[in-house]
Homo-oligomer: A and B are copies of this chain.
Amino acid sequence: MEINSPMNEKVKNWAKLQQKKYRDQTGKFLVEGEHLIGEALKAGAVEQLLIEAGRTNPFEREKEAIVCGESVMRKLSANVSGAWLIAVCTQKTTAPAGLRTVVLDGVQDPGNVGTIIRTAVAFGFDQVLLSPDCADVYNEKCVRSTQGALFHIAISRTELIPALNELKEAGVTVIGTALQGAQPLSELPVSENIAVVLGNEGQGIRPATLDICDQRAFIEMSSFESLNVAVAAGICLYRYRRRG
């Protein structure tokens, strides 16, 4: 099979996956580039693999590819320069292996969301919970920022208050980052049975969410009290990393 027209019905449907609305409706999303698609294949998330005419499929053992013309690939790619390999993936997420949780309360930037997911995997967290107003995990920029980590961790979009209450009932300590009424991060006890809450880039954690936190931590800074939220997440998740 070879598809050369960007007006082909299948192509039109795949292209719709560039919009969150259609990703939500179908439970699918697009992934570009060899490294990310390799991770998606390992996770069994690839539904269709699309390759530009004239290219060799680096995953021919794992998955047959549909050959597409350059104009089709350009239409499906989020990058102005196009892509030669694109996968239509399913938003399958595994059940968490434990309760170690990263919680995002209104994180807006898809690059920040993706970078935090990547960091959560690096430090041995089991799941990432996102408030409904966070950036979409399946946005191209977010997927790229995860570097494939999204295929290695349970991710759910949910109302945070009931989810946090459930975690607390299960014995998890909930820690939120805050500038006021908080203790220095380095003075809080290290624990592994933990949920770490990060807030919006400008506003931080919502008051109602902060109220549920068992502990409030601030990252000790010397001046210019301002950190990117993914950097703040990195510092906190490293502190509460899975040890041994």
Name A's B-contacting residues (CB within 8 A).
111, 115, 118-119, 121-124, 145, 147, 149, 152, 219-228, 230-235, 238, 241-243
Contact B230 A122 (CB under 8 A): no
Least CB distance from A105 to B in Å reads 19
Contact B227 A119 (CB under 8 A): yes
Q: CB within 8 A of A122: which of B147, B221, B234?
A: B221
Told that A149-B226, A235-B238 touch, could you supply 19 new A-B pairs with CB distance under 8 A? A115-B228, A115-B231, A118-B226, A121-B223, A122-B222, A122-B223, A122-B227, A123-B222, A124-B222, A145-B228, A220-B243, A222-B241, A228-B230, A228-B234, A230-B230, A230-B231, A231-B231, A234-B235, A235-B235
Question: How many copies of this chain does the complex contain?
Answer: 2
Least CB distance from A7 to B in Å reads 26
Name which residue of chain B comes closest to A125, CB basis: B222
Q: CB within 8 A of A111: which of B111, B123, B227?
A: B111
**A241 CA / B122 CA spacing, docked (Å):** 23
Chain B contacts of A238 at CB under 8 A? 219-220, 235
**A183 CA / B228 CA spacing, docked (Å):** 27
Contact B220 A241 (CB under 8 A): yes
**A123 CA / B123 CA spacing, docked (Å):** 22
Contact B122 A224 (CB under 8 A): yes
Contact B234 A152 (CB under 8 A): no
Q: CB within 8 A of A231: which of B119, B223, B225?
A: B119
**A224 CA / B124 CA spacing, docked (Å):** 9
User: Could you pull out 5 A-B pairs where Cβ atoms are within 8 angstroms?
Assistant: A118-B227, A122-B221, A123-B222, A124-B222, A232-B234
Name which residue of chain B comes closest to A222, CB basis: B124
